[in-house]
Structure 1
Amino acid sequence: MNYTDIKDKSLSELQALLKEKKVLLFELKAKLKTMQLTNTSELRTAKKDIARIQTAITALNAN
Structure 2
Amino acid sequence: MNYIDLKEKSLQELNELLKEKKVLLFELKAKLKTMQLTNTSELRACKKEIAQIQTAITAAKAN
Equivalent-residue separation in structure 2 for 1:60 and 1:5 (angstroms): 13
Alignment match, 1:21 = 21
Query: TM-score, structure 2 length as denominator?
Result: 0.99
Query: TM-score, structure 1 length as denominator?
Result: 0.99
Query: CA offset at residue 17 of structure 1?
Result: 0.1
Structure 1 gap segments, 5+ residues each: none
Structure 2 gap segments, 5+ residues each: none
The runs of 4+ residues in structure 1 deviating greater than 4 Å are none
Q: Percent identity?
A: 81
* RMSD, aligned α-carbons: 0.3
**Alignment length (residue pairs):** 63
